[in-house]
Amino acid sequence: MNELNVRNCRLIELPKIGDEKRGYLSFMESLRSIPFEIKRVYYIYGVGDSSAMRGEHAHKENLEQIFFCINGSVTFLLDDGERKDEYELKDPNIGIYIGPKLWHTLVNFSKDAIVLVVASDYYTEELYIRDYDKFIEYVHRGE
């Protein structure tokens, strides 16, 4: 498993039980394989345009999320304001942990991609940074 070079980001590996004949089972548990209590779950699917981009934002506060591509593949473009990285998520038991102050964009969705996301808090629009220039200012102010 590759390591990522940006802050507030790492790969999470879930257990993978089974074999090729019977298939596999992976599971996640709050405060065990997932390093926070899960308060929200959402998923992205049906992305029909290969040029579509999702995400394109960062979070101000302590929101933690883990993205799993449980079917197909998707590429993450990651930016902590100083370093950038890219990672193709394609194994259903491997997730990308995204912490606060990390700009993330999802691109190159396969037609069958399903991305499952678990989050540490409820949705609060005020905690999102949706303008890249404001994100850079926010990071460099050290808030």
DSSP 23-49: EEE----BTTTBSS---EEEEEE----
Cα gap 133→99, rounded to integer Å: 19
Q: Rounded to 5 degrees, what are φ and ψ at 77?
A: -105, 120
Inter-residue contact 58 to 105 (CB < 8 Å): no
Integer Cα distance of 115 and 73 in angstroms? 8
CA gyration radius, the chain: 15
Give the dihedral of Cα atoms 28, 26, 12, 77; nearest 10 deg. -110
57 is a catalytic site residue: yes
Catalytic residues: 57
